Every structure is written in structure tokens, then in C-alpha cells.
Chain A
């Protein structure tokens, strides 16, 4: 190969590299931001899960995207609001606070999906669905009964995660098979639905 050919090849590869490096467009898969994810989970499982969200999402807000407001109030307003060393959630809108300070203002409104986000999402769902009190809250609050009309009850749970979407019949059928002693295995069903990030997609 002559030097001329080698130089030509280098130029061609450089141009290709250059073109790729300066793509005119890109696309981000759209997942709801941190606030959206927290609001959805609180709607389903109740405000009791806030300590879990605080340690998972608020500590990693950049992963989930969405702005926060350093001038908003924190639910850790004063020691008077702590009982037996447990933080008591006293505000109905506590989730806007920038837990990591003013630099969080530069979080992107929409975060790119990432392995870390997926891992945190799974961990959150695992923590919530491992605790019976949150499952009981969801069943009771959303009037899901254990024994009657399984497809109807399953659909209710499905709609908690996908309120506007048509039902996924295959998924519902698979969920219906999740039973222990002929009773629905609600923790597993909730975990299965919760852990799939598809419900976060908007």
C-alpha cells in the first residue's frame, strides 16, 4: 500500500469519525422524571413509602431527572417533627426539595435511561413490595379484593401502573398464574409490575 493510499484511508476514516461525532440529531427515551415516579408510587403504595423514596430517588435525583427547588421546604424542618428518631412526613408536597443543595438546579428535566436508574428502580420496588404494610395499603386503598373475580382484580392492579393504556392480555394471564395456596401472590404481582420501567415511560 502506497503512502498516498494510507493517507487517503486515514482521511476517509477521519471524516467518518467526524460525521459520527457531530450528529445533527439524537433521541432520548422518555421516562417520567423523579417527581413523576415518586408521585405515582405514593399514589399506589401510600405516603408511608416516602423514607424509601428519600434514600433512593431524592439521593439520586440526577439519575431520574427533573428539577428540584432549593427554596422549597423539606419535611425535615425541625427536630420537633421527629418522633423516636423517625422522620415524620408532615408536608403534603415534600418532594421538590433539592436534597443535595443548589447545584441540583442543573439537573436535566428529562434523564436518559441508564443501568443505574434501572437498578435503583428495581431496588425501590423490591423494598416496597417486601413490606406487607405497603401491599396491604395498596390492596385496601384501591379496593382490590383477594378472592373475587381474579381477572377484574388483576386489571385493577394493572391499571394502577398503566392507567391510560389498554390491557396487556398476555401479561395479565401470566400474572394470574402467580398464586400461593390458590391465593393471588400480590407482593410478587406488584413487584413484577413495579419493577418493569415501562410504566415510567411517558
Chain B
């Protein structure tokens, strides 16, 4: 037998093998066509056994794939049904592709790096490809975002059944339901549920130290909704605005609710109040004049009912308290001498978007009522601590001892200022707190419910004097709260870069925060936890001597975080997660014995 016969025999033998295998596979049409691995196994690897999906970059080396560009990737160009390679035999020879199958290959190459990372996940997690099918994936998204079951009569579900869209695309469509009409209201039922879910997720991120001190100011929550911080996030989604806008501006939001029920129940009904307390039985008060006469005002209160939308607040005359009182602790009687006559806007933030909003400040300053800050013992350092925790997912200290040596004062009468290890935390907290030095936390009145008055808490904003010398940290400076609003951003990021910059406003601080990688690591970590249950500390990204599992998880987080920082888009971030193999995993559990 000469060589040509041998070759012919070999070709016929392997062709028939492939054909038969292909035929057999074509019978197995009931596989997950949205899973590129399954598609590749069923229709490519059956003949091309050297395509090792567990070593995806080998396919790149072979020139078959150009990551991110399906149209320039040979493996996609030659597919039957796509066939961009006109002079090449369209593959596979023996059967056709469904649109979903080619789309699945397209998606894989388009998001190649992301999938490659997930491949390591399967290896690391010692899994066989145990992925959800498209219906299950949609069910998962629906359960997470709508908190209900995806009904069969649902149009999206039908599209999946008809193979018009993949499960991941269906997940994108759920998010797309969150659209607002001209009145800033979400009209679709699914959209409204998504609105509420995202509202719930984002509000759970904030520590809100003062939330449980509501006995002091139980009327305040009729005006300030602690969960309204979520609107700063939701507004980014609504406008597809860049994430770095989160910490900019002095604006606030007005929520839109709808109910068929009477809108007169006091919130305190749920916090130990008397059943059937009605708002109309009470009046908001702001001070007691002579002869025990109480001054009243009428702020806009938070509506009741189902949340259906929100919009930026346009200040109205109702959003100003005519004068607020100095609520010294132990004060027995308030008379008009204590009333500060200057009207104060109750919803205007101090800059820095979310972190400088009235609600964030009220719930996080930890300040005593009626006390000005002095730059030493009295500082709103709890707020600084919350900023570090809420936007970097980190606990103090966030600098090294070496970084704060210039802030240590050996001759200070404030003991912690003389101690290096104390100043490791105070060096960050106290310097940042200088930015809100001019706030004073006040009661509207210290007499409450027994007189059918609603008591609230507010900030009195002292007017700073730019002519006074600046001061960052002092011992006990009576003029501290009147000095120019300066602070410092003293921070060493997780990668080790040290920052110590003088800043003059919360917007400036917000800009610095959203320029760091740590901010996006933190955000990516929070979203991954919600969508997958995996809690990955941002510090893992920079940890040394990582084992295989840690390596994989840190890559997952870094990937998402990099995408988030680059695109600045929350919607795209959700989509990135929906289209990842990690999200498709049937069980996210980690094999600790690996």
C-alpha cells in the first residue's frame, strides 16, 4: 500500500468517524446551546480534539481566536451560518448551527478574557461544567432582581424557549425594564420590582451609625428616609451616568410613592408608637417662644406607599426650617433666645454627593447634639470612618505609622495625638473630618410627643471665615468650626500607594475617592456578593502567596473592578456579571479541600 492510499484510507476513516460522531451528536439536540463549552464539545471538539477549552489561551496562540473580536477570529469566521471566510470550507461539515449556538461562540470570543478566567474557576472549583441552562439562568436573575418567579407567560421566557435570546441576554432585559417616564415614574411592573430591589441592596451598604438612636429624633424619619441614599446609585442607572458622579454635588432626591390607602400613618407606629397614630394629630415644631407657645413649621414629609420612582429635589419653601434650636443635652427649657433665626435648608447636601448628603451626615457623624467641633476631642470623625468603610470596604488604619509621623504632636494635651499607633487611625479620620467642621447637630425642639409636637434633628451650618488661619488638627480650638473648610485625604491604597493631599471641599474628596482603584474593588466586591454569594475581600487582589483558589477569586474581582472603572456604567457592570460563567454556575460553593 503506497502513501497516497494510506492517506486516503486515513481521511476516509477519520471523516467517517467525525461524520458518525457528528450524526450522533446532532441527535443530541437537547443540550445547552447557550453554553459555548457545550457547543464546542458537541460540534467542534468531537473532531478537533486538540481544542483544549481548559487552556483557552492555547487557542489564541494557534491563531484561532482574537480575544474580544469574534469577526477577526478564525474559529468564528468559518462557522457555517456566519461564513465570513469565503474561501474556506464552512464548519462543521455535517450539520447546521442554530442562531443561539453561533451567538454563544460569538459571546465567548467577545468576552474571552472573562471566560478564560472563569475556566480557571471550574478547574479550581474542581467542577465539571455544571452550568444552569438558559431558563434556569433567567429564573435566577428574576429571583434576585424581581424577587418573584419568572412566569411562563412572561414574554422574555418565551423568547428563551424560542431560542431568540440567551439566558444572559434575558437578564439584561430585566434590568432594561427599569426605565422612567417623563414624570420620573417606572411604569412596568417588573421595572418597579427591580427599582425596589436595587433600592434595598444599595441602602444596605451603609453603616448608618445613628439609625438606632432614633428615639432622640423620632420625627426626623418623617422627613429623612434613611434608605434614600440608594437614590444616588439609582440615579446613575436612570441616567446611565458615570459612577464617579456618585460623590459630587449638593443635591438630594424626592421619592415618588403610590398607595390606595390613607396616607396618614405615622412611621413611629412601627417603632414603638401608639397604634393608629396619625400624622394629622401632630405638628412639626421648631422652638418654644415666651409663654410656652410653640412655633410650628410644615416640612414636606415622606409619602407612603409603594416606591414607583424618584427625582432630584427642587427646593421649596417647605424644605427650610425657619430657625433651629441649640439642643444642649440636659436642657430643660428652650426659649426664643435659643432659636437661631436663620432659616436652614433641611435637604441640601454639603457637597460630595452621597457622602455629604443630609441623610448620610445625620446618620454617620456620631456628633452630640448642640456641640460645635473643636479640632481635638470633638470632631465628626465617625463620619470619616464611615466614608473609609462605605466607599473602600476597609477598616482603619489605612496608613502605616510612617505615613502619619507629621501629625503626631508629642506635646499635645490630647493624649491620642501624642501616640503614633493612635494617630494611625486619627491621622486619616481627624484630618478628613475638617471638611465638615462647620456643622452642628441640633434638635428642632427638645419637647416631643407629649405635646403632640414632632421633633426633628438637623444640621446648623456655621458660616466659615476665610480670613481666619487654617487649622487641620488642634487640641481644643474654640474657633475651629469657623476656620476655612480644609481637610486632608490621608490614605494608602491596597496596592501600597500613599496619598496625603490637602483638600478644600467634599466634591474634591469625592473626586479623589472615585479615582482610586480601591473604590471600584469595593463596589465590585459588593455586587459580586449580591449576585453570586461570593464574598471576596478587595485586599485579596494584592495579597502575596495566593493559593490557586485565591488566585482565581482575586482575578474575578479584579476583572469586574477593572471593567467597572473603565466603563463607569452600572448597567454594563450588571451585564458583565450576567454574561460571566461564574454567574452561570449551578452552585457557587468553594471546595475547601482543593
Contact = CB atoms under 8 A, between A and B. Distances in A.
Interface of A: 24-30, 32-33, 35-36, 39-40, 43, 66-67, 69-74, 77-79, 91, 93, 96, 98-103, 105-110, 163-166, 202
A70 B150 contact: no
Contacts of B259: 73
Chain A facing B: main interface SS: loop
Contacts of A107: 204
B150 A109 contact: no
Contact of B211 (A91, A93, A103): A103
A82 to B, nearest CB: 12
A25 B530 contact: no
B272 to A, nearest CB: 7
Interface string B254-295: 010101111001010011100010000000000000000000
A25 B302 contact: no
A102 B221 contact: yes
B300 interface: no
Interface string B406-418: 0000000000000
Given A27-B590, A39-B149, A73 B204 contact: no
A66 B306 contact: no
B138 A25 contact: no
B390 to A, nearest CB: 14
A179 B302 CA distance: 55
Contacts of A99: 270
Listed residue (B200, B214, B255) with the most chain A CB atoms within 10 angstroms of its CB: B200
Given A24-B550, A36-B147, A202-B143, A69 B588 contact: no
B136 A164 contact: yes
Given A72-B307, A108-B204, A102 B196 contact: no
A85 B440 CA distance: 49
A120 to B, nearest CB: 18
Contact of A29 (B204, B225, B305, B533): B533
B227 A110 contact: no
Given A28-B533, A30-B588, A72 B304 contact: yes
Interface of B: 133, 135-136, 138-140, 143-144, 147-150, 152, 196, 199-201, 203-204, 208, 211-212, 214, 221, 225-227, 255, 257, 259-262, 265, 267, 270-272, 276, 302-307, 529-530, 532-537, 539-540, 543, 549-550, 553-554, 588-590
Contacts of A96: 196, 306
Contact of A110 (B152, B203, B265, B530): B530
A37 to B, nearest CB: 9
Contacts of A71: 225, 255, 257, 267, 302-305, 307
A168 B534 CA distance: 27
Contact of A100 (B133, B204, B270, B539): B270
B578 to A, nearest CB: 14
11 contacts: A28-B529, A28-B535, A29-B533, A66-B147, A102-B211, A103-B212, A103-B271, A106-B204, A109-B530, A164-B133, A164-B150
B152 A163 contact: yes
A27 B528 CA distance: 11
A78 B142 CA distance: 33
A180 B590 CA distance: 43
A72 B204 contact: no
A103 B221 CA distance: 12
Contacts of B306: 72-73, 93, 96
Nearest to B549: A25
Which 4 pairs, one residue from A and one from B, show the smallest C-beta to C-beta distance?
A: A67-B200, A24-B540, A164-B139, A101-B270
A66 B201 CA distance: 8
Contacts of A110: 529-530, 533
A105 B203 CA distance: 8
Contacts of B529: 28, 110
Contacts of A29: 533, 588-589
A73 B270 contact: no
A107 B203 CA distance: 10
B123 to A, nearest CB: 17
B147 A35 contact: yes
Contact of A105 (B226, B307, B537, B543): B226
B270 A70 contact: yes
Contact of B533 (A30, A66, A101): A30
Contacts of A108: 204
Listed residue (A24, A33, A43) with the most chain B CB atoms within 10 angstroms of its CB: A24
A67 B201 contact: yes
B94 to A, nearest CB: 28
Contact of B270 (A36, A91, A98, A164): A98
B149 A40 contact: yes
Given A25-B535, A69-B307, A102-B270, A77 B262 contact: yes
Contacts of B257: 71-72
A166 B586 CA distance: 13
Given A71-B257, A164-B136, A164-B138, A102 B214 contact: yes
